[in-house]
């Protein structure tokens, strides 16, 4: 798989990040937040839904 210049720049930018806020902990936000966290980026997850907050807490504890 080849990486385009834009993808390479996006990856380089992510490597410079120290922390991000993920808005919405649904089907996209939570896995994205977890992936970023696993790569060493500090993540603050924000969601108004109590159910999403509970999913986030369960994911964090595993």
Check residue 1 and give its pLDDT. 66
Q: Coil, helix or strand for 7?
A: helix
pLDDT digit string (tens) for 9-24? 887 887 787 888 999 9
Q: pTM of the entire structure?
A: 0.59
Domain range list for the chain: 18-61
Distances from the Cα of 22 to the Cαs of 18, 25, 44, 48, 58, in angstroms? 13, 7, 6, 12, 17
pLDDT digit string (tens) for 18-59? 888 999 988 999 899 999 888 888 899 898 988 776 776 777
Check residue 31 and give its pLDDT. 92
Residue 43's nearest CA partner among 22, 17, 62 is 22
């Amino acid at each position: 798989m080849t990486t385009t210049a834009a993808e390479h720049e996006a990856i380089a930018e992510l490597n410079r990040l120290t922390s991000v806020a993920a808005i919405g902990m649904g089907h996209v936000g939570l896995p994205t937040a977890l992936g970023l966290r696993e790569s060493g980026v500090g993540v603050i997850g924000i969601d108004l839904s109590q159910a999403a907050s509970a999913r986030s807490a369960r994911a964090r504890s595993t």
